[in-house]
Amino acid sequence: MPISVKDLTYTYNPGTPFETRALDGISLTINDGEFVGIIGHTGSGKSTFIQHLNALIKPTSGQVLVDGEDINESKEKAALRMRVGLVFQYPEYQLFEETVLKDVSFGPKNMGLSEEEATQSAKWALEKVGLGERYYGRSPFELSGGQKRRCAVAGVLAMHPEVLILDEPAAGLDPVGRREILDIIRAIHSEGTTVIMVSHSMDDVARLCERVIVLEKGKVALDGSCAEVFGQVEKLSAMGLTLPQAALLRDRLNKRGFDLPESIYTIEALSQALTEKLKTR
């Protein structure tokens, strides 16, 4: 189920003094099974962009095609939103039910599944995020920060989306919670789900994503594999973005006379290249 965006433009508060163009002529395609990272400065249009992908926002102009079909023309918006699952930033603020199990089955129930099927789906999703049976009956408000986050992600997973979009899934979590949630996302992707992840953390993007899209003032500034994008040091720093730690170190070493390839952006690749360099010296 590829997602194609054509010349997408979106303007907030048109015709008022607060008019701002959040997206400006974005065109790109996201293919099945990809793991795409979207990075960009605050206000670059990342969150606005992803909300277009499941028709939560109607574009000012341009098209969003899911499976070749313009989603803003379609009447089945709710059905689409289940196929393209969107996990918002701080999704734990959407929890509302009395128990974890009930909250997670909210999505499947909206899909029109029976009580039993919905519960089945919810249990499956909760297992995916590592919340076992003893959490089913608890109030979602009693959970810890990281558990709440996982519970909310399960709420979207329970609808079995083919594409999963996450806005800053690890924001505001402690290191353990961070690692847990990122591991879950990685596992979901490895089972064949297309994942699109918005993140401020270059390291998370470098570790997980295959493709990186950089947004700048509502436009696509860079789009390519991690190696391609994180090689463009000057361009990224001109946009006020940093590099992953390993790429940063690679860049500094190169400035001191090391001749390491620009395509290095992970700690593993860097340590390997560096060892080889030092051996031959």
Least distance to another protein, CB of residue 16, Å? 7
Give the integer Cα–Cα distance in Å for 275 and 76.
56
C-beta closer to another protein: residue 26 or 53: 53
How far is the first Cα of the chain from the last one, in angstroms, to the nearest whole number? 50
Give the integer Cα–Cα distance in Å for 43 and 62.
20
C-beta closer to another protein: residue 143 or 249: 143
Least distance to another protein, CB of residue 258, Å? 46
C-beta closer to another protein: residue 117 or 223: 117
| Inter-helix orientation angle 245-255/267-280, to 10° | 30
Least distance to another protein, CB of residue 12, Å? 9
- Where are any strands of DSSP class E within the chain? 3-12, 20-30, 35-40, 61-66, 69-70, 84-87, 163-167, 194-198, 211-216, 219-225
Least distance to another protein, CB of residue 108, Å? 8
- C-alpha torsion angle, residues 60, 57, 17, 214 (rounded to 10): -80
Question: Which neighbouring-strand residues pair with 11?
Answer: 21
Residue 86: name the closest of 119, 120, 116, 48 by CA.
Answer: 48
Least distance to another protein, CB of residue 103, Å? 9
| Inter-helix orientation angle 145-157/175-190, to 10° | 20
C-beta closer to another protein: residue 59 or 244: 59
C-beta closer to another protein: residue 108 or 231: 108
User: Which chain residues interact with another protein by CB under 8 A?
Assistant: 13, 16-17, 51, 54, 56, 78, 81-82, 85-88, 91, 93-97, 106-107, 110-111, 141, 155-156, 159
